[in-house]
Structure 1
Amino acid sequence: MRCTQKVLFSCGNPFKALFSEENNACISPQLLSLLNNFETSLRVSITELVPKGDDKNDFLTVSWMIQAMHSLCETHQGITTLMTTDLDLPVSDMEESLIDMYVDMSSKLLELCNAFTSELYRLNHGNMLLKLAFGNPEVFSLSHIDRWRQHMASKNPSIQNCGEVLSSLVESMNHHHHKKVLVRALYGVKVKTLYIFSVFDASFTHSSKNLLYLTIPEEMEEVPWGQAFMELQNMINPEIKKTFLSDRFAVIRDLEAVESGVEKLYAAVQEGWDPNLSVVEPLKQLVIELSGRFDLVSKETSCLLETMVSAREALCESLWTKIKSDDADDYVRIVCE
C-alpha cells in the first residue's frame, strides 16, 4: 500500500505572517518567554517519541502507544494551563473566534479518542476469548480460537470514520491567520496531536491511507519543535509503509506476536497435536500482558479526553464571565443615562 502524504498547508501558508520577525517584535517579553517555554517543552516531548537505537520499529509497540498518548495528555495539559492561567487574557484579547477554534478542534479530537477507546475495547474482547481458550489446556477447544478469529476479522465502524475526521482537522489549519501567541502555541499542539493520531489510525486499521505527512514551512524553522517533529515523522512513516508491504499478521508488534503464536498453535492442534501446559501457558501470559497494556493506552486516552473537556469548560466559563460582565456594563450605562 502507498503511504499517503497529506500536506498541511495546501491552501497557503498561515505561518508566513504568524512567524515573521515583525510579528514577534510586537510580542511582549513576558508573552514571548511563555511561548518559548511552551514550545521548548513541546520539542522535548516530541524528541522523546523518536525511536532510539537500532530497532526503528519501537513505535509499533503498545509501549510506544502508551508513551505517545501520555505525551499528548501532558501537552494538552500544558496548553490548557497556558490558555487559562499563564496568559490570563480576557476574552476580548483572546477573541471569541479563538475559543470557537479550540472547541471545534477538541470536538473532533474527542471523537477520535472515543473511536480509539472503542477499538481498544474490541481488541481486549479478543484477548478475553483467548483467555477462555487457554483457561484449561486439558479441554482445549478450537471453537474459542474460531470465535477469536471471527472477532479479529470484524471491522469497527468508529475507526473506519477516523480518516474523514483527521482530514477535516488538517483542512481547518489553513483557515486561521491570527497573529496571537496562543494560536501559535495551538498550532504546535495540533500538529503533534494529528500526526500521532494518524499513526494510531494506521495501526488500528492496518492501512496507511490516513497516515499524515505534515510539512513544516520555512518560516517555522525557528520554532524549537519543528526539526524534532520532522525527524519523528521522517523516521516513522517509511517504516510504516514497509510494514504494510510485508505479510505480518498485525501492525502492532505485541498483537502480531500473539496472533502468530495462536495461528501456529491452531495449525498444530489441527494436525493432531495435544497442547500442554508448558506450551499454552507462555502464550496465555502474553495475552494477559497485552490486555494490561491496552488498558494503559485506554487510561492515557481517557486522560487526554478529560483534559480537553476541562479546557473547553474553562474557556467557555471565561466567555460566559465576559458576556455577563458586558451585560452588567450595558445595564449600568443605561441606568446612568
Structure 2
Amino acid sequence: MVLAMESLCETHNDIKTLITELDLPVTGWDEKWIDVYMDISVKLLDICNALSSELLRLNQGHLLLQCALHNLESNTSEKLVRACSSLDSWRQNIGTKNPRLENCKSILEDLVDSVSLPKVKNSAKGKVLMQAMYGAKIQTVFVCSVVAAVFSGNSNNLLDLDVAKTTTWAQAFSELQTNVNGGIRDIFSHGKFPVLKELDEVYTAVKNLYPMIQDGKRPIEVEVFSNSFSDLGRRAEKLAQGLDFLTKVVDGFFKIVLSGRDALLCDLRMPDTLADPFPGSNGKRFVR
C-alpha cells in the first residue's frame, strides 16, 4: 500500500513536469477542463482526508496496545485487568466502521464518470497531455479504490475500470486489476478479518494472548505467556511502523494535489502569465 501510494505521488509529480515541458499556458486552457480539474482535485482531497482519518484511528489503537503491553509487564492482578480492558478497547476500535471510508465509494464513482480519453484536434501537445492525464486518472481511481476497500473491509469500494483499448497499456492494466481486485474479493469471501496483513497479525496475537490473562491471574505457563507477550510487542511495532510510513505518503499525496490546485488558481488570477500551471507551492492557499 505504501509503494502504491508512492507510485501515485510520482505519477502526479510527473504530470506537473510534463506540463512544464509542454509549455502549455493556463490562458490557453479550455474553461471546461479547468472546471473538471478543480472538481477532481476536490474529490481527491476528500479521499485523502478519509484515509487520513482511518490512519489516525488505527494509530490511536496502537496507543491502546502500548498501554496493554505496559500493564502486562506487571505481576499484579490489577495491572492484568487493565491490560484486558485495553485489549478489549483495541478490538472494539478496529471493529468500528469509519463513516468517512464508507463515503469513498460515491466519491470514487464520481471520479470514474470523469475518466475518459478526450479527443484533441489540431494540438499535438494537447493530445499528449490528455493521454497522460487519462492514465493518471485511471491509476488514481484504481489505487484509491483498493486502499479504501482494504481499510473499510468492504469490497463494494472496489471498482472495475474499463480502459480504452487504444492505450498501449490496456491489457497490462486489465490483468493487474483482475488479479488485485479478485484477490481482495476472495479474502472478503472467506470472511477474513481484518484484511490488512500487519493488522491481522496483531489481531491473531491478541486473540492468542487474551485467554491467558482474562481471569486477572498470572498465567501458569510462564514461557508460553512470555512468548505470546513478545510476539504481540513485535507485531504491534511492525504495524505502527507501517502505519507511520503510509500516513506520511498519504499526507504527501494530499500536498501534491493541493499544491497543483493552488498553483493553478494563482495562474488564473494572472491571465498574462505563460508559466507552468502546476509548479510547486507552499499549499497555504486553498479555495474550494
Q: TM-score, normalised by structure 2?
A: 0.82
Query: Cα–Cα, structure 1 residues 204 and 162, in superposed 2: closer, same or farther, change >3 Å?
Result: same
**Which residue in the other structure is 1:241 paired with?**
185
Taking the aligned partners of 1:117 and 1:216, their CA distance within structure 2 comes to 29
Taking the aligned partners of 2:259 and 2:188, their CA distance within structure 1 comes to 38
**Which residue in the other structure is 2:254 paired with?**
305
**Which residue in the other structure is 1:76 paired with?**
12
**Which residue in the other structure is 1:215 paired with?**
162
Taking the aligned partners of 1:174 and 1:118, their CA distance within structure 2 comes to 30
**Which residue in the other structure is 2:282 paired with?**
none
Matches of residues 245-324 of structure 1 in structure 2 within 5 Å? Answer: 245-270=189-214, 274=219, 276-322=225-271
Query: Cα–Cα, structure 1 residues 216 and 281, in superposed 2: closer, same or farther, change >3 Å?
Result: same
Q: Specify every segment of 5 or more residues in structure 2 that has no aligned partner in the other structure, as ranges.
A: 275-288
Taking the aligned partners of 1:269 and 1:107, their CA distance within structure 2 comes to 48
Taking the aligned partners of 2:170 and 2:116, their CA distance within structure 1 comes to 18
**Which residue in the other structure is 2:84 paired with?**
142
Q: Match of 1:218, SS?
A: coil
Contact conserved, 1:199 with 1:211, CA < 8 A, in 2?
A: yes
Q: Which has the higher contact order (CA 8 A, sep 6+)?
A: 1
**Which residue in the other structure is 1:228 paired with?**
172
Candidates 143, 148, 169, aligned match of 2:111: 169
**Which residue in the other structure is 1:186 paired with?**
133
Contact conserved, 1:99 with 1:316, CA < 8 A, in 2?
A: no
**Which residue in the other structure is 1:11 paired with?**
none
**Which residue in the other structure is 1:102 paired with?**
37
Matches of residues 41-56 of structure 1 in structure 2 within 5 Å? Answer: none
Contact conserved, 1:202 with 1:209, CA < 8 A, in 2?
A: yes
Taking the aligned partners of 1:218 and 1:171, their CA distance within structure 2 comes to 18
**Which residue in the other structure is 2:52 paired with?**
117
Taking the aligned partners of 1:135 and 1:209, their CA distance within structure 2 comes to 38
1:136 deviates by 3.4
Taking the aligned partners of 1:124 and 1:213, their CA distance within structure 2 comes to 30
Equivalent residues, number: 257
Q: Deviations over 1:171-230 (max 9, x none)?
A: 12259555533222111100001001010111011111120111123223xx3x333322
Taking the aligned partners of 2:63 and 2:233, their CA distance within structure 1 comes to 10
Contact conserved, 1:249 with 1:260, CA < 8 A, in 2?
A: no
Say whether 1:196 aligns with 2:143: yes
Taking the aligned partners of 2:269 and 2:54, their CA distance within structure 1 comes to 36
Q: Percent identity?
A: 38
Taking the aligned partners of 1:227 and 1:273, their CA distance within structure 2 comes to 58
Contact conserved, 2:117 with 2:134, CA < 8 A, in 1?
A: no
Query: Cα–Cα, structure 1 residues 218 and 226, in superposed 2: closer, same or farther, change >3 Å?
Result: closer
Q: TM-score, normalised by structure 1?
A: 0.71
Q: Specify every segment of 5 or more residues in structure 1 that has no aligned partner in the other structure, as ranges.
A: 1-64, 326-337
Query: Cα–Cα, structure 1 residues 263 and 250, in superposed 2: closer, same or farther, change >3 Å?
Result: same
**Which residue in the other structure is 1:86 paired with?**
21
